[in-house]
């Protein structure tokens, strides 16, 4: 039973998870670009360098491949590494140590070796950051065997999933969205974990299931509140973990409502929404009253101008329109 009812911002929830795990386990360390800079990482690493020193909080040059390779090697050698990519777009420079080494190591060693590493990527969408600083790569990493991918949507989950990721004996891609950093909800002071691979129903409903991740969960909840005034009861399912996906929870909700809208902050083609649609059609197609509708990014790079950004990024209004479309067709 948790004693705390205090509220904490998303960024400070991550900070507390890192602090508590580093205090608990001296093998845990943080390495990455800008780990001591609020401009890069907000409040997520506040006070860690002062508390744990530069041997456990390592601020690196701009060298994504080198810092990730060093972290993977240290994890293989017995440390628990958290490697920070403040703009996950540039994790592409580190694909070799992530995919060829970290993801494959346990398999290549017959399960007798492990790589306890958290590869933490921050999405920086919006703010006129354009194509090279705004991308969410969760679908790409979800495609790779040997990687787990988590995308918390609340402060509570940000702390709990970071703790679980650090405790995991093999690689976890932890993806957060800077748009979530200032939201607040109840976060216990005690150390706790959120199980990787388990989603949660954020709001119960009977008319339509809205499946969402990360920031789109917040937009889905806004949409559900507006739709409620129109006598539409939308069930909001927060996947929490993209891989392994909680298909049991998804199927249970879809069987109940018979209608599905998928809200994803990634691109539509070959993205997370496509995978969820495939899972539903392959396993419970007979329960659908209407075709699945997807709300996702258009298949173009992010624009640099604010007016174009407003058209590019989906919001609660896109989800509302998708729900109405689903209801009309079934």
Which residue matches tokens 């069930």? 235
Instruction: Report the alpha-carbon distance of residue 90 to residue 60 in Å, rounded.
Output: 14
Which token pair is 108?
């290549």
Residue 164 has phi, psi (to 5 degrees) of -60, -40
> Would residue 138 show up in a list of annotated catalytic residues for this protein?
no
Nearest Cα neighbor of 300 from 291, 311, 290 is: 311
The residue annotated as part of the active site, out of 16, 85, 101, 133, is 133
Contacts of 223 (CB under 8 A, 6+ apart): 210, 234, 316, 317, 319, 320, 323
The residue annotated as part of the active site, out of 16, 64, 101, 275, is 64
**DSSP percent split of the chain into helix, strand, coil, nearest 5:** 45, 20, 35
> Would residue 64 show up in a list of annotated catalytic residues for this protein?
yes
Instruction: Report the alpha-carbon distance of residue 180 to residue 193 in Å, rounded.
Output: 19
Query: Catalytic residue numbers?
Result: 64, 133
């Amino acid at each position: 039973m948790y004693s705390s009812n205090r509220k904490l911002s998303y960024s400070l929830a991550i900070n507390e998870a890192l602090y508590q795990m580093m205090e608990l386990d001296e093998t845990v360390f943080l390495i990455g670009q800008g780990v001591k800079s609020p401009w890069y990482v907000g409040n997520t690493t506040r006070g860690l360098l002062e508390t744990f020193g530069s041997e456990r909080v390592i601020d690196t040059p701009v060298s994504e491949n080198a810092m990730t390779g060093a972290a993977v090697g240290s994890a293989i050698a017995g440390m628990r590494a958290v490697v920070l990519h403040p703009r996950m777009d540039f994790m592409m420079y580190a694909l070799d140590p992530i995919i060829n080494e970290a993801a494959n190591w346990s398999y290549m060693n017959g399960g007798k070796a492990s790589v306890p590493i958290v590869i933490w990527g921050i999405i920086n969408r919006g703010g006129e950051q354009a194509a090279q600083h705004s991308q969410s790569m969760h679908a790409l990493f979800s495609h790779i065997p040997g990687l787990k991918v988590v995308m918390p949507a609340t402060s509570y989950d940000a702390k709990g999933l970071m703790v679980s990721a650090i405790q995991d004996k093999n690689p976890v891609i932890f993806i957060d969205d800077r748009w979530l950093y200032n939201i607040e909800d109840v976060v216990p002071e005690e150390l706790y974990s959120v199980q990787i691979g388990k989603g949660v129903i954020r709001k119960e409903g009977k008319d339509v299931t809205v499946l969402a991740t990360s920031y789109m969960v917040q937009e889905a909840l806004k949409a559900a509140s507006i739709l409620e005034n129109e006598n539409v009861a939308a069930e909001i399912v927060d996947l929490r973990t993209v891989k392994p996906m909680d298909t049991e929870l998804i199927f249970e909700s879809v069987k109940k409502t018979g209608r599905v809208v998928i809200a994803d902050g990634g691109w539509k083609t070959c993205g997370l929404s496509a995978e969820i649609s495939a899972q539903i059609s392959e396993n419970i197609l007979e329960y659908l009253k209407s075709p699945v509708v997807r709300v996702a990014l258009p298949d173009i790079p992010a624009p640099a101008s604010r007016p174009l950004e407003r058209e590019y990024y989906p919001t609660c209004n896109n989800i509302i329109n998708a729900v109405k479309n689903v209801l009309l067709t079934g």
